[in-house]
Amino acid sequence: MSQNVYDQGEFFENYIKLDRQTKGLDGAPEWLQLRTMLPELKGARVLDLGCGFGWFSRFARSEGAAHVRGIDLSTKMLDKARRMTSDDAITYEKADLEDLVLLETEYNVVFSALTFHYIASLPRLVAEISKSLKRGGRLVFSVEHPLFTAPTTPSLIVDKDTGRTVWQVDAYQQEGIRTRTWFVGGVRKQHRTVGTYINLLLSSGLRLTDFVEWCPSEEELAKNPGWDVELIRPTFLLIGATKD
């Protein structure tokens, strides 16, 4: 059973204030690049894993998707998604991705934003996704970058000897749970290496087509000077793959 931090009152009250929740997809800086990885959505059958407030589900329908199935573990997220949606071709559903079972060759597109790094049984889930994709179908997802999740205790410090701001990496190759404070303490994430993400795709019969370690453009940096931390180490990894 997954941890469901999203339904904790204190977490939820803070989470809903994030730009990416109040402004939707356009509030997420990495969305522009993730969007380029998507195929034509017109007429597509789409699965949205970790759909949250349904921003992507509604986007897919606005692009002409035939049907979108949004899945999340959080009752609060789904309640809000349903309130924000009036569209019979979007189905929201509460389920745990740790044991989700999918039908064969059902989807043209499987999308997932910042969800897979919570899933312990990701190899099982990726195999289900691959099975459920039609030939030529696409998996497009984002996760917290392995360089971001690697440290047992995350710390960005100013090194006294050199004056550089540095990200301290102590356990890149040791995969498993990382416990973080994010609005509340005890938020559990799964650290995996870049190699593990890539090999999960390859061993599930998917072909890697897109790999972006998100970095702000100079223009974005000028508008958001605080994003320069992204030059030190990326926060987001965006991946696209095709079922041949």
The answer to whether 68 and 101 have CB atoms below 8 angstroms apart is no
Closest CB to a second copy among 62 and 199? 199
**Cα–Cα distance between 181 and 186 in angstroms, integer?**
6
In the sheet with 90-94, reading across from the earlier edge strand, the strands are 90-94, 67-72, 45-49, 107-113, 133-144, 236-243, 206-213
Query: What residues make contact with a second copy under the rule CB under 8 A?
Result: 147, 151-153, 155, 159, 161-162, 164-174, 193-195, 198-199, 202, 207-209, 211-213, 215, 230-234
Closest CB to a second copy among 132 and 242? 242
Q: How far is the CB of 191 from a second copy (least distance, A)?
A: 13
The answer to whether 204 and 125 have CB atoms below 8 angstroms apart is no
Q: How far is the CB of 147 from a second copy (least distance, A)?
A: 7
Closest CB to a second copy among 112 and 235? 235
Q: Could you say which DSSP state residue 147 is in? A: H
Q: How far is the CB of 89 from a second copy (least distance, A)?
A: 34
Cα dihedral 5→177→170→126 (10° resolution): -100
**Cα–Cα distance between 58 and 56 in angstroms, integer?**
5
Closest CB to a second copy among 9 and 225? 225
Q: How far is the CB of 12 from a second copy (least distance, A)?
A: 31
